[in-house]
A and B are shown apart, each in its own frame.
Chain A
Amino acid sequence: MNSRLFLKLAVTNIRNHAQTYYPYVLASSAAVMMFYDMLYLYFSREIGGMADSSALRLMLAFGCIVIGVFSFILLLYVNSFLIKRRKKEFGLFNVLGMEKKHIARIMLTETLMVAALCIGLGLVAGILFSKLAMLLLLNILGLGASFGFEVPLPAVAITVILFGALFLINLLYNVVQVRISRPAELLKGGNVGEKEPRTKWLMALSGAAALGAGYYIALTTESPLMALNQFFIAVLLVMVGTYGLFTAGSIAILKSLRKNKRFYYRTNPFIAISGMIYRMKRNAAGLASICILSAAVIITLSSTVSLYAGLEDVLRTRYVREIAVYASEVSDENIQHLEQIVAEETKRAGIVPQNPVSLRSASLIAMQEGNVFRGARTNFRAQNAAMLLFMTASEYSRFEGVRADLAEGEALVYAMKGEIPGDTLDLDGFALRIRSRLDKMESFAPIFAKGIMTKTYVVITADERDIFRARQALEGADAPKLLNYEYHFDTQADRGTQVELAASLKQAIKGASIDGHADGREAARQSFMAIYGILFFLGLFLGTLFLLGTVLIIYYKQISEGYDDKDRFAIMQKVGLTRDEIKKAIRFQVLAVFFLPLVTAVCHIAAAFPVITKLLALFNMTNVPLFALCTALTIVAFAVCYTLIYALTARTYYRIVR
Chain B
Amino acid sequence: MALLEVRNLKKVYTTRFGKQQVQALANVSFSVEEGEFVAIMGESGSGKTTLLNILAALDQPTGGEVLLDGRALSSIPEKEIAAFRRDRLGFVFQEFNLLDTFNLRDNIFLPLVLAGKPHREMAARLKPIAAALGIAEILGKFPYEVSGGQKQRAAVARALITHPRILLADEPTGALDSRSSDDLLRLFEEINRQGQTILMVTHSVKAASHAGRVLFIKDGEVFHQIYKGSKTRHEFFQQISDALTVMAAGGGRHE
Residues of A within 8 A of B (CB): 193-196, 261-262, 265-267, 270, 274-275, 277-278, 568, 571-579, 581
Most buried by A among B56, B116, B119, B122: B119
Contact: A575 with B113, CB < 8 Å? Answer: no
Q: Can you report 7 residue pairs joining A to B where beta carbons are below 8 Å apart? A: A196-B103, A267-B116, A274-B101, A274-B106, A568-B101, A573-B58, A574-B56
Q: Does any Cβ of A come within 8 Å of B82's Cβ? A: yes
Known contacts A196-B142, A267-B114, A576-B86; is-contact A262 B119 (Cβ 8 Å): yes
Nearest CB on B from A6, distance (A): 32
Q: Which residues of A contact B102 (CB under 8 A)?
A: 274
Q: Which residues of A contact B144 (CB under 8 A)?
A: 193-195
Contact: A578 with B79, CB < 8 Å? Answer: yes
Contact: A277 with B82, CB < 8 Å? Answer: no
Contact: B122 with A575, CB < 8 Å? Answer: no
Whose C-beta in chain B lies nearest to the C-beta of A193? Answer: B144
Contact: A277 with B101, CB < 8 Å? Answer: yes
Q: Which of B15-23, B60-68, B92-100, B235-243 contacts A (4 or more CB under 8 A)?
A: B92-100
Partner among B79, B91, B106, B118 whose Cβ is within 8 Å of the Cβ of A574 = B91
Contact: A266 with B113, CB < 8 Å? Answer: yes
Contact: A576 with B111, CB < 8 Å? Answer: yes
- Considering the chains assembled together, what is the distance between the CA atoms of A574 and B100 in angstroms? 15
Nearest CB on A from B122, distance (A): 7
Q: Which residues of B contact A275 (CB under 8 A)?
A: 101
Whose C-beta in chain A lies nearest to the C-beta of B79? Answer: A578
What's the count of A-B pairs with C-beta under 8 Å? 72
Q: Which residues of B contact A274 (CB under 8 A)?
A: 99, 101-102, 106
Partner among A261, A278, A571, A576 whose Cβ is within 8 Å of the Cβ of B82 = A576
Contact: A194 with B100, CB < 8 Å? Answer: yes
- Considering the chains assembled together, what is the distance between the CA atoms of A277 and B103 in angstroms? 13
Q: Which residues of B contact A277 (CB under 8 A)?
A: 101
Known contacts A261-B119, A274-B106; is-contact A576 B101 (Cβ 8 Å): no
Q: Which residues of A contact B113 (CB under 8 A)?
A: 265-267, 270
Nearest CB on A from B205, distance (A): 27
Residues of B within 8 A of A (CB): 56, 58, 79, 81-83, 85-86, 91, 93, 97-103, 106, 109-111, 113-114, 116, 118-119, 122, 142-144, 158
Known contacts A266-B116, A270-B106; is-contact A575 B97 (Cβ 8 Å): yes
Most buried by B among A195, A262, A267, A576: A576
Q: Which residues of B contact A581 (CB under 8 A)?
A: 82, 114
Which 5 pairs from chain A and chain B are nearest by CB? A576-B86, A193-B144, A578-B82, A274-B101, A571-B97
Q: Which residues of A contact B158 (CB under 8 A)?
A: 575
- Considering the chains assembled together, what is the distance between the CA atoms of A574 and B86 in angstroms? 9
Q: Given contact pairs A195-B144, A575-B114, enumerate 12 new A-B contacts (beta carbons under 8 Å).
A: A193-B143, A266-B113, A270-B106, A270-B110, A270-B113, A275-B101, A568-B101, A572-B110, A574-B56, A576-B114, A578-B83, A579-B82
Whose C-beta in chain A lies nearest to the C-beta of B96? Answer: A571
Q: Which residues of B contact A196 (CB under 8 A)?
A: 101, 103, 142
Q: Which residues of A contact B116 (CB under 8 A)?
A: 266-267
- Considering the chains assembled together, what is the distance between the CA atoms of A502 and B111 in angstroms? 83
Partner among B86, B93, B109 whose Cβ is within 8 Å of the Cβ of A265 = B109
- Considering the chains assembled together, what is the distance between the CA atoms of A193 and B103 in angstroms? 13
Most buried by A among B110, B122, B158: B110
Nearest CB on A from B148, distance (A): 12
Q: Which residues of A contact B109 (CB under 8 A)?
A: 265, 270
Known contacts A265-B119, A265-B122; is-contact A574 B97 (Cβ 8 Å): yes
Contact: B142 with A575, CB < 8 Å? Answer: no
Q: Which residues of A contact B106 (CB under 8 A)?
A: 270, 274
- Considering the chains assembled together, what is the distance between the CA atoms of A576 and B56 in angstroms? 10
- Considering the chains assembled together, what is the distance between the CA atoms of A196 and B100 in angstroms? 9
